[in-house]
A and B are shown apart, each in its own frame.
Chain A
Amino acid sequence: MDGLSPAIMPLAAPKAPGHWQVATVKSIKQETPQVKSFALELPKWMPHLPGQHYDIRLTAEDGYQAQRSYSIASSPLVEGEIELTIDLLADGEVSPYFHEVVMEGDQVEVRGPFASYFVWRGEEPALLLGGGSGVVPLMAMLRHRRRACPERQMHLVYSVRSAEGLIYADELGDETTVTYTRSAPARWSGHTGRIDAELVSGPASAAEVVFICGSNGFVESASRLAVDAGCDPSRIRTERFGPSG
């Protein structure tokens, strides 16, 4: 699939997503102590747009159901499967199930892909600002750019508390600037502290669209920094991670 031109990437959301289907857990990766990624094989896979999400539905024996939405972390060029990265929320009911119960080979009900606003179609140079697990949908964009159009300008600023919480650590390359807000690793010479004008203003000048994802506080300050750096508010797309679990 390498060498695909951007023209082959999906330019519009699929017409009829959304029917529940039973996926099989192909592999599980422990990203950090709090975060796992699940590769799910889908019988009725369709290409998604980087930034879209799937809904997951769990059903107990007595018929009780719980559902939540999770961002897709993988590129749509990975055919037949999707990767969902799930942050463990202690008082949740879906994320603890995934972390404590789900094993490879298990089946889970999913439907998607959904929502076509917080999506990158591969056309414009983009600045990605991610806080904590807010990096997940941005990773789908980063991975997709790497496979489909590495010449397209993209920069990720990734704010994380400590090295222990760094998701996708072994995949972050030159296009990524990490800042540690609580504690940096020994001998770290990069950025520390909250996201600031210095981190945003440089890459913002080259970007035609800005994607921001994280907690509400992170999104508020990051979007203010992007506006201050001269980005048109209508070109700033945000997604806030609420306390769903």
Chain B
Amino acid sequence: MSFVSRGFGGKRRVPEDLADRVPPGQYIEQGFPVLTAGPTPHIDPTAGEWSFRVDGMVAQEREWSWEEFHELEFEDVPCDIHCVTSWSKLGTRFRGVSVDALLEASEPLEAYATAYCFGGYTTNLAIEDLTDGKAWIVTEHEGEPLPRAHGGPARLLVPHLYFWKSAKWVAGLRVMDHDEPGFWEVNGYHNRGDPWKEERYWTD
């Protein structure tokens, strides 16, 4: 470490007991900022406007209506989330269905997936990053229905990667035989986005 910023002390240091929960270059944010690339889509699940699909290279394509989705097993997901714009929110709680359960029902035949969304957003993930208890489709946050601004009625939740991978207004997962960069991934952001390795941009 050679460079030092003259007169910089650091006013928002991470408390020592939380240090192992905050990735490098992140600071703790108590709120829940909203960052979105376009207008917020309005989807009314009670009017039949919502469904979730698993399609592409799978043994069995599947689609769940809002009602069918709610017959699946829900679980609480306490987690820390990390945004590439450098805030982290610790100890927050979502509720939803494990992606493991959704993929088991459709049997992926290949190793990559694209999450696609109402409004056109996409993000790419390796199947490995979606399975084994690492990803959920969530419909609640802190005991309340997921607000529209935060992706309601449902968003993908992949807390071990930067939060742009946790696609808002998610409509489905498409299993693919190759890795196809999604919306932010073609616009300068890292293909995988591991906050612990600080994979923020293409060159990281």
Contact = CB atoms under 8 A, between A and B. Distances in A.
A144 to B, nearest CB: 19
What is the interface residue range for chain B against chain A?
A: 35 or more
A93 B10 contact: yes
Interface stretch (B99-107, B128-136, B183-191): B183-191
Main secondary structure of the interface of A (DSSP, over half): mixed
B204 interface: yes
A17 B201 CA distance: 9
Given A19-B203, A60-B8, A115-B187, A220 B85 contact: no
Given A223-B39, A238-B39, A66 B6 contact: no
Given A13-B188, A22-B3, A233-B119, A244 B86 contact: yes
Main secondary structure of the interface of B (DSSP, over half): loop
B85 A233 contact: no
Contacts of A67: 25, 86
A243 B30 CA distance: 10
Nearest to B149: A216
A242 B40 CA distance: 16
A92 B183 CA distance: 30
What is the interface residue range for chain A against chain B?
A: 35 or more
Contacts of A65: 24-25
Given A13-B188, A58-B5, A116-B187, A18 B10 contact: no
A238 B33 contact: no
B21 to A, nearest CB: 17
Nearest to B34: A216
Contacts of A220: 40, 149
B39 A224 contact: yes
B203 A242 contact: no
Interface of B: 1, 3-13, 24-25, 27, 29, 31, 33-40, 85-87, 119-120, 149, 183-184, 187-189, 200-204
Given A114-B188, A117-B187, 8 more contacts: A18-B202, A18-B204, A60-B10, A93-B27, A97-B7, A107-B6, A114-B201, A244-B29
12 contacts: A16-B203, A19-B203, A58-B10, A60-B5, A61-B4, A65-B25, A93-B12, A109-B5, A116-B188, A117-B183, A234-B120, A242-B85
